[in-house]
Chain A
């Protein structure tokens, strides 16, 4: 039995798709229920777009959309921006570069704040993508906050990762060293009219050829100028080519398997945690436990054993 909102999402109602995304952002039981209802519905190809701030990710996505529309019927875009660590608020400013597509019925754009989550996306990005998938978007683009060694969560979420660099944004060598070379399936040098573009493209190309020689796929490097409409059709070509590769080579099966594994783990964990918390009346008893530990009457370990004994006999044996 599907709820009204799940039905509407599957039918593609924009207002309820948006509300569905808000529900999974808020988390908790309602999110869990909704995700349960729509699990497995729809099939999307997921494109991750990542790169340092100033690389022009949003402008590139904006420019790619007309070309992507030749290959995909409906495109959903999740653009992630950082939340302020001090106030918890955020300015979500990626959308403004894609504003011309706001009224296109084939496009849906949602801005998400990282809400303290490290890794380049928000904790709910994966779930938001599931909502869009159930709503029938055959392509979902995830635009990350930025890229650094810690912000590579997008790799696990995506089928193809496009990594954008720009000339002149700092030391090229540092870029290579930071380990991000391994995460891109397609490399784009944006603002390629700037000085140094060819050089950095050749550098990356040679590194990739070194690292991936003999393997089935060497990530290509594309020179582009998003604002001048240059290189965009090539980028789309390379994305399609990568998709063909991972489908043929079985690579995509590995990725899907990993995602299902992650789903099982996180959903199970959520279920168990909520169950435990409610059964143990966790929130109201917590202050009492803290007091006891403070007074030295308990440790968290003895506590766990005791509580475990309350609901899960034999679970906490040494």
Chain B
């Protein structure tokens, strides 16, 4: 059985700073995952359709422009509408700690702030995958 974790890395909204997203995409590839990276300026509709067609296990959203309180819930809500809430969403970028409870309430499973290591993200992924199986 060839079971591999598939992850979508996406940048919603107008923010064009993709250094972090590209780094994470590559790092996750190096960790053995299959990563679909769709570039900047994605709409929530496009992100969710992509997540569904690619049957990803996770969607990682990167945003540095401060629009996360709007953009991230747009994605989680649309996933729920389409019956795809088993796809877990995590986020990164410039996200003040104060906003994290709100985002988690809206369905974002984890927020990885500045200083996050790749290991923290892969640990999270492995934990969630193990929980899914159980």
Contacts and interface: CB of A to CB of B under 8 A. Distances in A.
Interface of A: 14-15, 17-19, 21-22, 25-28, 83-84, 87-93, 95-96, 99, 102-103, 108-111, 113, 115
B53 A108 contact: yes
Most chain B CB inside 10 Å of its own CB: which residue of A14, A17, A28: A14
Interface in B27-77: 28-39, 42-43, 45-46, 49-50, 52-55
Given A90-B35, A91-B25, A115 B4 contact: yes
Contacts, number: 91
Interface string B1-15: 111101000000000
Contact of B28 (A18, A89, A99): A89
B32 A89 contact: yes
B38 A91 contact: no
Contacts of B82: 15
A96 to B, nearest CB: 5
Contacts of B46: 99, 102-103
Given A25-B2, A87-B29, A99-B46, A19 B55 contact: yes
5 contacts: A15-B52, A15-B55, A18-B52, A89-B32, A90-B29
A91 B53 contact: no
Given A89-B29, A99-B46, A110-B54, 4 more contacts: A87-B31, A91-B35, A99-B50, A115-B4
Most chain A CB inside 10 Å of its own CB: which residue of B32, B45, B55: B55
A54 B58 CA distance: 29
Given A18-B55, A110-B54, A88 B49 contact: no
Contacts of B104: none
A17 B54 CA distance: 10
Given A18-B52, A21-B55, A102-B50, A88 B4 contact: yes
A87 B52 contact: no
B106 interface: no
B84 interface: yes
Nearest to B43: A103
A14 B4 CA distance: 20
A28 B36 contact: no
B85 to A, nearest CB: 11
Interface string B79-93: 000111000000000
Given A25-B2, A87-B30, A109 B53 contact: yes
B109 interface: no
Contacts of B54: 18, 92, 95, 110-111
A83 B4 CA distance: 11
Most chain A CB inside 10 Å of its own CB: which residue of B31, B45, B53, B54: B53
A26 B31 CA distance: 19
A90 B2 contact: no
B12 to A, nearest CB: 13
Given A15-B83, A26-B1, A102-B50, A88 B38 contact: no
Contact of B2 (A27, A99, A103): A27
B39 A99 contact: yes
